[in-house]
Amino acid sequence: MSVNALYTDLSDYYDLMCADIDYQAQSHCIHRLQKLFGNAGTRHLDLACGTGPHVRYFIDFGYTSSGLDINQPMLDKAAIRCPQARFSLQDMCNFTVSEPQDLITCFLYSIHYSGAIERLKACIASVHAALAANGVFCFNSVDKNKIDNDLFVSHTARHDDGLFSFSSGWSYCGSGEQQSLKLRIERTTAGDRQLWHDEHPMVAVSFAELQALLQPYFEVHILEHDYEKIIPWNGASGNALFACVKI
Protein backbone atom coordinates (compact mmCIF):
# COMPACT_ATOMS: atom_id res chain seq x y z
CA MET A 1 0.00 0.00 0.00
CA SER A 2 1.28 3.50 -0.80
CA VAL A 3 1.75 6.07 1.94
CA ASN A 4 -1.64 7.72 1.48
CA ALA A 5 -3.60 4.70 0.24
CA LEU A 6 -5.57 4.43 3.45
CA TYR A 7 -6.96 7.92 2.96
CA THR A 8 -7.92 7.44 -0.67
CA ASP A 9 -8.64 3.81 -1.58
CA LEU A 10 -10.01 3.08 1.91
CA SER A 11 -11.32 6.53 2.81
CA ASP A 12 -14.82 5.10 3.16
CA TYR A 13 -13.56 3.03 6.10
CA TYR A 14 -11.57 5.76 7.87
CA ASP A 15 -14.33 6.58 10.37
CA LEU A 16 -14.72 2.87 11.05
CA MET A 17 -11.01 2.63 11.80
CA CYS A 18 -11.41 5.47 14.33
CA ALA A 19 -14.66 4.17 15.82
CA ASP A 20 -13.15 3.79 19.30
CA ILE A 21 -12.02 7.44 19.52
CA ASP A 22 -14.00 9.73 21.82
CA TYR A 23 -14.01 12.82 19.61
CA GLN A 24 -16.39 14.66 21.94
CA ALA A 25 -14.14 14.22 24.98
CA GLN A 26 -11.07 15.29 23.01
CA SER A 27 -12.79 18.37 21.61
CA HIS A 28 -14.25 19.36 24.96
CA CYS A 29 -10.84 19.11 26.63
CA ILE A 30 -9.27 21.47 24.10
CA HIS A 31 -12.25 23.80 24.45
CA ARG A 32 -11.45 23.94 28.18
CA LEU A 33 -7.78 24.61 27.42
CA GLN A 34 -8.76 27.48 25.15
CA LYS A 35 -10.80 28.98 27.99
CA LEU A 36 -7.93 28.48 30.42
CA PHE A 37 -5.03 29.74 28.32
CA GLY A 38 -6.54 31.51 25.31
CA ASN A 39 -7.97 34.83 24.23
CA ALA A 40 -11.67 33.87 24.52
CA GLY A 41 -12.04 33.96 20.73
CA THR A 42 -14.03 31.42 18.77
CA ARG A 43 -12.28 31.24 15.39
CA HIS A 44 -11.00 27.66 15.08
CA LEU A 45 -8.93 25.75 12.54
CA ASP A 46 -8.29 21.99 12.67
CA LEU A 47 -5.14 20.78 10.93
CA ALA A 48 -5.27 17.33 9.28
CA CYS A 49 -9.01 17.43 9.95
CA GLY A 50 -9.83 14.18 8.14
CA THR A 51 -13.58 13.66 7.83
CA GLY A 52 -14.27 16.48 10.28
CA PRO A 53 -15.51 14.85 13.52
CA HIS A 54 -13.62 17.29 15.75
CA VAL A 55 -14.81 20.24 13.66
CA ARG A 56 -18.38 19.04 14.19
CA TYR A 57 -18.01 19.32 17.97
CA PHE A 58 -16.32 22.71 17.89
CA ILE A 59 -19.21 24.05 15.83
CA ASP A 60 -21.56 22.68 18.47
CA PHE A 61 -19.49 24.48 21.12
CA GLY A 62 -20.12 27.78 19.34
CA TYR A 63 -16.93 28.15 17.31
CA THR A 64 -16.63 29.34 13.74
CA SER A 65 -14.73 26.25 12.73
CA SER A 66 -12.74 25.28 9.65
CA GLY A 67 -10.40 22.48 8.63
CA LEU A 68 -7.64 21.60 6.23
CA ASP A 69 -6.25 18.31 4.99
CA ILE A 70 -4.12 17.06 2.09
CA ASN A 71 -6.64 14.40 1.05
CA GLN A 72 -9.65 15.52 -0.94
CA PRO A 73 -11.74 12.36 -0.29
CA MET A 74 -11.54 13.12 3.43
CA LEU A 75 -12.53 16.76 2.89
CA ASP A 76 -15.51 15.71 0.77
CA LYS A 77 -16.82 13.68 3.71
CA ALA A 78 -16.02 16.49 6.15
CA ALA A 79 -18.09 18.93 4.09
CA ILE A 80 -21.08 16.59 4.31
CA ARG A 81 -20.65 16.18 8.07
CA CYS A 82 -20.15 19.92 8.70
CA PRO A 83 -21.84 22.00 5.99
CA GLN A 84 -21.38 25.15 8.11
CA ALA A 85 -17.58 24.82 8.11
CA ARG A 86 -14.98 25.88 5.57
CA PHE A 87 -12.56 23.21 4.39
CA SER A 88 -9.47 23.61 2.25
CA LEU A 89 -7.00 21.31 0.55
CA GLN A 90 -3.72 22.46 2.07
CA ASP A 91 -0.50 21.11 3.54
CA MET A 92 -0.35 21.84 7.27
CA CYS A 93 3.37 22.63 6.90
CA ASN A 94 2.68 25.48 4.51
CA PHE A 95 -0.82 26.90 4.86
CA THR A 96 -2.48 30.29 4.91
CA VAL A 97 -5.73 31.59 6.42
CA SER A 98 -8.01 34.42 5.37
CA GLU A 99 -8.22 35.79 8.92
CA PRO A 100 -6.36 35.18 12.20
CA GLN A 101 -7.47 32.16 14.20
CA ASP A 102 -8.00 32.02 17.97
CA LEU A 103 -7.51 28.27 18.28
CA ILE A 104 -5.64 25.84 16.04
CA THR A 105 -5.83 22.13 16.78
CA CYS A 106 -4.07 19.04 15.46
CA PHE A 107 -5.52 15.82 16.89
CA LEU A 108 -4.63 12.12 16.70
CA TYR A 109 -0.84 12.71 16.70
CA SER A 110 -1.18 14.22 13.23
CA ILE A 111 1.58 16.75 13.99
CA HIS A 112 3.96 13.85 13.27
CA TYR A 113 2.71 13.69 9.67
CA SER A 114 4.99 16.65 9.00
CA GLY A 115 7.49 13.86 8.40
CA ALA A 116 10.80 15.67 9.00
CA ILE A 117 12.19 18.23 11.42
CA GLU A 118 12.41 21.00 8.80
CA ARG A 119 8.79 20.47 7.82
CA LEU A 120 7.79 20.39 11.50
CA LYS A 121 9.52 23.76 11.92
CA ALA A 122 7.58 25.06 8.92
CA CYS A 123 4.32 23.79 10.42
CA ILE A 124 5.02 25.57 13.71
CA ALA A 125 5.87 28.80 11.88
CA SER A 126 2.69 28.54 9.76
CA VAL A 127 0.58 28.03 12.89
CA HIS A 128 2.18 31.02 14.63
CA ALA A 129 1.53 33.23 11.60
CA ALA A 130 -2.10 32.10 11.43
CA LEU A 131 -2.95 32.73 15.11
CA ALA A 132 -4.35 35.92 16.57
CA ALA A 133 -2.69 37.53 19.59
CA ASN A 134 -2.76 35.11 22.54
CA GLY A 135 -4.18 32.42 20.29
CA VAL A 136 -3.65 28.79 21.28
CA PHE A 137 -2.18 25.85 19.37
CA CYS A 138 -3.17 22.45 20.84
CA PHE A 139 -1.97 19.04 19.70
CA ASN A 140 -0.87 15.67 21.04
CA SER A 141 2.50 14.04 20.49
CA VAL A 142 4.53 10.93 21.24
CA ASP A 143 8.13 11.11 22.52
CA LYS A 144 10.45 9.12 20.25
CA ASN A 145 12.48 7.96 23.24
CA LYS A 146 9.43 6.36 24.87
CA ILE A 147 8.20 4.32 21.91
CA ASP A 148 7.69 0.58 22.43
CA ASN A 149 7.96 -1.03 18.99
CA ASP A 150 6.08 -4.10 20.22
CA LEU A 151 3.03 -2.20 21.45
CA PHE A 152 -0.03 -2.19 19.20
CA VAL A 153 -3.60 -1.11 19.87
CA SER A 154 -6.44 -2.97 18.18
CA HIS A 155 -10.20 -2.93 17.82
CA THR A 156 -12.84 -4.55 15.65
CA ALA A 157 -15.94 -3.05 14.07
CA ARG A 158 -18.76 -4.47 12.02
CA HIS A 159 -19.80 -2.84 8.75
CA ASP A 160 -22.13 -3.72 5.88
CA ASP A 161 -18.97 -4.68 3.98
CA GLY A 162 -17.87 -7.18 6.65
CA LEU A 163 -16.08 -7.46 9.96
CA PHE A 164 -13.03 -5.19 10.22
CA SER A 165 -10.04 -5.53 12.53
CA PHE A 166 -7.68 -2.57 12.90
CA SER A 167 -4.25 -2.51 14.58
CA SER A 168 -1.74 0.33 14.81
CA GLY A 169 1.56 0.96 16.54
CA TRP A 170 4.58 3.26 16.54
CA SER A 171 8.00 2.10 15.39
CA TYR A 172 11.32 3.87 15.96
CA CYS A 173 14.79 2.53 15.22
CA GLY A 174 16.40 4.50 18.06
CA SER A 175 18.16 7.22 16.06
CA GLY A 176 17.39 9.90 13.51
CA GLU A 177 14.30 11.98 12.80
CA GLN A 178 12.13 9.27 11.22
CA GLN A 179 9.63 7.01 12.94
CA SER A 180 6.67 5.25 11.43
CA LEU A 181 3.07 4.46 12.18
CA LYS A 182 2.32 0.86 11.21
CA LEU A 183 -1.26 -0.08 10.36
CA ARG A 184 -2.88 -3.44 9.76
CA ILE A 185 -6.44 -3.73 8.46
CA GLU A 186 -8.26 -7.02 8.02
CA ARG A 187 -11.69 -7.42 6.47
CA THR A 188 -13.59 -10.68 6.80
CA THR A 189 -16.72 -11.50 4.83
CA ALA A 190 -18.44 -14.80 4.14
CA GLY A 191 -15.76 -17.01 2.70
CA ASP A 192 -13.32 -14.17 2.05
CA ARG A 193 -10.52 -12.42 3.94
CA GLN A 194 -8.56 -9.38 2.84
CA LEU A 195 -5.52 -7.93 4.57
CA TRP A 196 -3.86 -4.53 4.13
CA HIS A 197 -0.61 -3.32 5.63
CA ASP A 198 0.34 0.35 5.61
CA GLU A 199 3.33 2.22 7.03
CA HIS A 200 3.32 6.00 7.33
CA PRO A 201 6.61 7.92 7.62
CA MET A 202 6.39 10.29 10.60
CA VAL A 203 8.74 12.77 12.20
CA ALA A 204 10.51 11.48 15.32
CA VAL A 205 11.05 14.04 18.06
CA SER A 206 11.53 14.03 21.82
CA PHE A 207 9.43 16.30 24.01
CA ALA A 208 12.57 18.28 24.89
CA GLU A 209 13.32 18.81 21.19
CA LEU A 210 9.73 19.70 20.46
CA GLN A 211 9.61 22.21 23.30
CA ALA A 212 12.79 23.84 21.98
CA LEU A 213 11.19 24.20 18.52
CA LEU A 214 8.04 25.76 19.99
CA GLN A 215 9.52 28.14 22.55
CA PRO A 216 10.62 30.91 20.13
CA TYR A 217 6.95 31.28 19.16
CA PHE A 218 4.88 30.14 22.14
CA GLU A 219 4.49 29.87 25.86
CA VAL A 220 4.43 26.07 26.08
CA HIS A 221 2.36 24.01 28.52
CA ILE A 222 2.94 20.23 28.45
CA LEU A 223 0.06 18.28 29.96
CA GLU A 224 -0.73 14.67 30.70
CA HIS A 225 -2.42 12.87 27.83
CA ASP A 226 -5.73 12.76 29.67
CA TYR A 227 -8.81 14.30 28.07
CA GLU A 228 -10.77 14.13 31.34
CA LYS A 229 -8.28 15.99 33.55
CA ILE A 230 -6.04 19.00 32.93
CA ILE A 231 -2.84 18.18 34.82
CA PRO A 232 0.85 18.85 34.11
CA TRP A 233 2.86 16.19 32.32
CA ASN A 234 4.58 13.94 34.84
CA GLY A 235 7.84 13.87 32.92
CA ALA A 236 7.71 10.10 32.47
CA SER A 237 4.85 9.19 30.13
CA GLY A 238 5.52 9.00 26.42
CA ASN A 239 2.32 10.73 25.30
CA ALA A 240 1.39 14.32 26.08
CA LEU A 241 -0.91 17.20 25.20
CA PHE A 242 0.70 20.48 24.23
CA ALA A 243 -1.11 23.79 24.79
CA CYS A 244 0.93 26.57 23.21
CA VAL A 245 0.00 30.25 23.60
CA LYS A 246 1.23 32.67 20.94
CA ILE A 247 3.80 35.21 22.13
pLDDT in tens, 155-176: 998 888 889 999 999 999 999 9
What kind and span of H or E run contains 107?
Answer: none
Q: Does residue 230 belong to any structural domain of this protein?
A: yes
For position 15, what pLDDT does the model report? 81
Q: Identify whether 150 is part of a domain.
A: yes
Residues 212 and 232 in one domain: yes
Say if residue 137 is in the same domain as residue 20.
yes
The rounded Cα 149 to chain-centroid distance in angstroms is 20
Residue 4 lies in a domain: no
* Nearest by Cα to 95 from 62, 64, 65, 119: 119
How many structural domains does the chain have? 2
pLDDT under 70 in the chain at which residues?
1-11
Domain containing residue 178: 145-203
Residues 213 and 234 in one domain: yes
pLDDT at 206: 98
Model pLDDT, residue 108: 97
Note whether residue 1 is domain-resident.
no
42: domain CATH number is: 3.40.50.150
CATH code assigned at 154: 2.20.130
Q: Say if residue 56 is in the same domain as residue 171.
A: no
Query: Is 195 a member of any domain?
Result: yes
Question: What is the edge-to-edge ordering of all strands in the sheet holding 192-203?
Answer: 153-159, 162-172, 178-189, 192-203
Q: Give the pLDDT of residue 159.
A: 83
Q: Would you say residue 210 lies in a domain?
A: yes
pTM recorded for the entire structure: 0.94
User: Please, is 40 exposed, middle or buried when counting C-beta atoms within 10 Å of its C-beta (0-12, 13-18, 19+)?
Assistant: exposed
**113 falls within a domain:** yes
Burial (CB count within 10 angstroms: exposed 0-12, middle 13-18, buried 19+), residue 143: buried
